[in-house]
């Protein structure tokens, strides 16, 4: 694949509507993301029907916008990549159908991108780190829907080392924030509140800390936050102390689980963190310390590429197109599509 070949990427798996155009050398020619936060905030979480309708309304406009900014016509593209799972099925259908339509109309290859693979491969995008990260590396995928430790051995070669036994870590942030009376999405709001608090003031449990393996569990920590709030969270300072204690507990557990995962991948060249929770400063600091103890760098995408975006989708499409085979236009979107077992 020529380094100057360009690919259009589409993302519509949850509540971000996004489009981007990338060259095969990793140059981002154009990108656009539309948040649906205002639409879902009154409900305290993502409403699938509202999300799908918003994607249907806005994605064609965003595609036209990034194509114009990139200065390209559809005939100039080398392919179209669209997130086809996992995610909310309504949004997946919108993005995948638009991507297939563009591919069919202009005789372009179509790539059905696994959303988790797009997160996993972001670290190999030139410019994220000098020369990009080399395989294999450890990936911590931390978002509202996923909490996994994965050995990334190559494009299409993933080995899950551990996962959550109950909730995803991003979901735990949102629920803890709701208990503290904070708006949705809860992660950023809780991090802001935690800056004013004392993490040692309200002792909270560290689930599975020190246990063998690298699985996670967050339900007990959420329950502990609920009890702490019930005991007394009448003042802003009390709420800040609980938020700081929760964030410190999450960071400590993630660092511990990551250290265990690294021991399972002795050949790892780096620790990579991706997903919305990767934007949290305390989490990044804790994981950086765990990686440094093994003499490895912590690689985290820029904050704008931590949450769902189309840059990572276009890049995953490029990596797949380098391998040759593309997907049929009859490829069906999948609400569940695990990374492990994917074939390159």
Question: Are the beta carbons of 187 and 277 closer than 8 angstroms?
Answer: yes
Kindly report whether the peptide bond that precedes residue 75 is cis, defined as omega within 30 degrees of 0: no
Give Cα separations from 270 to 84, 138, 256, 261 (angstroms).
28, 6, 16, 12
262 burial (CB, 10 Å; 0-12 / 13-18 / 19+) is: buried
Which residue ranges make up the annotated binding site for substrate? 141-145, 174, 187, 191, 280
Q: Element (H or E) spanning 268, and its range?
A: none
Residue 247 to residues 37, 187, 202, 283, 333: CA-CA distances in angstroms? 22, 10, 11, 8, 35
The residues, ordered by sequence, that sit 6+ positions from 24 with a Cβ below 8 Å of its Cβ are: 1, 2, 3, 4, 5, 6, 7, 78, 318, 321, 322
Three-state DSSP at 178 gives helix
Bind-site residues for Fe cation = 115, 119, 308
* CA–CA dist 111, 86 (Å, integer): 15
Beta pairing, strands 28-35 & 16-23: antiparallel
Q: Which residues are annotated as a binding site?
A: 115, 119, 141-145, 174, 187, 191, 280, 308
Distance CA 260, CA 263 (A): 5
């Amino acid at each position: 694949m020529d380094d100057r070949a360009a690919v259009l990427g589409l993302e519509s798996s949850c509540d971000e509507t996004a489009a981007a155009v990338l060259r095969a050398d990793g140059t981002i020619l154009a990108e656009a993301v539309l948040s649906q936060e205002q639409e879902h905030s009154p409900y305290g979480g993502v409403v699938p029907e509202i999300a799908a309708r918003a994607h249907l309304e806005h994605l064609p406009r965003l595609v036209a916008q990034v194509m114009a900014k990139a200065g390209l016509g559809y005939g100039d593209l080398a392919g179209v990549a669209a997130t086809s799972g996992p995610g909310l099925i309504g949004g997946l259908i919108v993005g995948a159908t638009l991507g297939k339509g563009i591919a069919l109309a202009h005789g372009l290859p179509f790539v059905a991108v696994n959303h988790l693979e797009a997160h996993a491969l972001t670290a190999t995008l030139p410019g994220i780190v000098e020369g990009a990260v080399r395989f294999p590396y450890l990936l911590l995928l931390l978002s509202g829907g996923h909490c996994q430790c994965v050995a990334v051995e190559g494009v299409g070669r993933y080995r899950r080392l551990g996962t959550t036994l109950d909730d995803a870590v991003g979901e735990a942030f949102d629920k803890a924030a709701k208990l503290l009376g904070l708006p949705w999405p809860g992660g950023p709001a809780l991090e802001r509140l935690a800056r004013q608090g004392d993490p040692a003031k309200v002792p909270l449990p560290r689930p599975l800390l020190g246990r063998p393996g690298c699985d996670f569990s967050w339900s007990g920590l959420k329950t502990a936050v609920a009890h702490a709030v019930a005991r007394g969270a009448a003042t802003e300072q009390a709420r800040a102390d609980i938020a700081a204690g929760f964030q410190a507990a999450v960071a400590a557990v993630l660092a511990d689980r990551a250290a265990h995962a690294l021991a399972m991948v002795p050949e790892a060249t780096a620790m990579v963190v991706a997903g919305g929770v990767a934007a949290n400063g305390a989490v990044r600091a804790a994981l950086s310390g765990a990686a440094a103890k093994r003499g490895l760098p912590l690689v985290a995408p820029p904050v704008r590429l931590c949450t769902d975006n189309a840059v990572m989708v276009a890049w995953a499409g490029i990596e797949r197109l380098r391998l040759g085979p593309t997907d049929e236009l009859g490829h069906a979107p999948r609400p569940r599509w695990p990374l492990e077992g994917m074939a390159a």
